[in-house]
Amino acid sequence: MRSLFGKIFLWLLGTSLLPVAAFMATSSYFLPSGQAPAFLPIYLWTLLGTAVLGYLVAINLVRPLRSLRRTVEQFGRGDLTARTGSLRKDEIGGLSRAFDRMAERIETLLTAERRLLQDVSHELRSPLARLRFAVELARTDGDREEALTHIAKDVERLANLVDELLQLTRAEGDPSSQDLHVIPLNDLLRSLVADCGLEAEARHRRLALKVDGSAIVLGERELIRRAVENVLRNAIHYAPEGTTVEIVMTLVAEVATITVRDRGPGIPDEWLGQIFKPFFRVDNDRARTSGGVGLGLSIAQRAISLHQGKVEARNANPGLIVTIELPHAKGLAGRDAVLPAVGAGSFKP
């Protein structure tokens, strides 16, 4: 019997035997003496059967409800992974599964909120540090105008960053809220390499960009830019002085592939799968010297997978190769329009 109704019905049927049995037992008093004992065992057995049936039904109903209550309490205490995992086919099973779905959704939303908080604080750090420096400069240095220009630039950047992170979280929750741009990847890479080139030069590393084909990606320019920038900045950071970081873009079979290769220490093979996880850093010494917190690659991965792409890393001995693959938006080359968010439904490779 699958439904709760069925069980209750069965239980009622069982208990209804009780008065029948009682009637049969009492009616024996009206029967000629000597026959009464023949009904007594029937009565007793019926009574026993009804009691057992009633107990089984009650246990069957109460046990899953108790387990559901325990799971709800566990979830309420903050264990967001608590689930009933019920396989029952009746109404209690349905209720348990509805709870599991609700818990799943709440866990996803809360995790996304926490990640947003981590990402925001991480990404705000560098512009804030520069701002502090610029304010100090404005106080002590004569050239206030220049310091103010720096401050204005960083304030602008902070505003952009907040927008971008909010956009990333919103888009993860609801892909249809994305504003889609036609992004020529070649231009994006050229401007990125020009921007990062100054930093690389200051650290005595070179950047070499090689572009093969003209790839177009449909998506959010800032997110893609940020993803590649995080990978490139890592490469510049870990590349030894005097070496070149190579950035290559190819377009093969409608897939645009960007590889960033440095000649640094690479990553121990057992950690390769971990570096895209938030806050993962290969060793703590590096953390102390580089000041990074280990969010750059996780932000990059989220941004790229949002565009139906993927990021991977492998050792090149020497150095690390990080590969970013993105679907080429064939047929949109030459267009530069910003597609409205409602067009997001067509944003599939």
Ligand X SMILES: Nc1ncnc2c1ncn2[C@@H]1O[C@H](COP(=O)(O)OP(=O)(O)OP(=O)(O)O)[C@@H](O)[C@H]1O
Positions touching ligand X (CB under 6 A) are 122, 230, 234-235, 238, 262, 264-267, 275, 280-282, 286, 290, 292-298, 320
**What, of ligand X, Mg ion, none, does residue 262 touch, CB below 5 to 8 Å by kind?**
ligand X
**What, of ligand X, Mg ion, none, does residue 265 touch, CB below 5 to 8 Å by kind?**
ligand X
- When the beta carbons of 266 and 292 are compared against Mg ion, the nearer one is 292
- When the beta carbons of 264 and 296 are compared against Mg ion, the nearer one is 296
- When the beta carbons of 153 and 286 are compared against ligand X, the nearer one is 286
- When the beta carbons of 296 and 327 are compared against Mg ion, the nearer one is 296
Angle between helices 144-173 and 221-238 (to 10 degrees): 110
Residue type, 313: A
Nearest approach, Cβ of residue 127 and ligand X (Å)? 13
CB 284 within 8 A of CB 295: no
- When the beta carbons of 21 and 322 are compared against ligand X, the nearer one is 322
The residue nearest Mg ion at its CB is 296
Q: What angle (nearest 5°) sits at the alpha carbon of residue 131, between those of residues 125 and 136?
A: 130
**What, of Mg ion, ligand X, none, does residue 257 touch, CB below 5 to 8 Å by kind?**
none
**What, of ligand X, Mg ion, none, does residue 309 touch, CB below 5 to 8 Å by kind?**
none
| Ramachandran area for residue 99 (φ above 0: left; ψ -120 to 50: alpha; else beta) | alpha
The CA distance from 120 to 82, in Å, is 28
Nearest approach, Cβ of residue 311 and ligand X (Å)? 11
Residues forming contacts to Mg ion in the complex (CB under 5 A) are 234, 292, 296
- When the beta carbons of 97 and 125 are compared against Mg ion, the nearer one is 125
SS3 268: coil
**What, of ligand X, Mg ion, none, does residue 294 touch, CB below 5 to 8 Å by kind?**
ligand X
Other beta carbons within 10 Å of 172 = 18
> With 0-12 CB in 10 A as exposed, 13-18 as middle and 19+ as buried, what is 345?
exposed
The CA distance from 89 to 95, in Å, is 10
From residue 261, alpha-carbon distances to 35, 163, 206, 237 in Å are 100, 30, 12, 12
Nearest approach, Cβ of residue 266 and Mg ion (Å)? 15
**What, of Mg ion, ligand X, none, does residue 320 touch, CB below 5 to 8 Å by kind?**
ligand X
- When the beta carbons of 134 and 196 are compared against Mg ion, the nearer one is 196
The CA distance from 235 to 264, in Å, is 8
Residues 6+ apart with CB under 8 A from 187: none
Nearest approach, Cβ of residue 220 and ligand X (Å)? 20
Note the Cα 239 to chain centre separation in Å: 31
Nearest approach, Cβ of residue 320 and Mg ion (Å)? 12
Nearest approach, Cβ of residue 265 and ligand X (Å)? 6
Nearest approach, Cβ of residue 293 and Mg ion (Å)? 9
**What, of ligand X, Mg ion, none, does residue 264 touch, CB below 5 to 8 Å by kind?**
ligand X
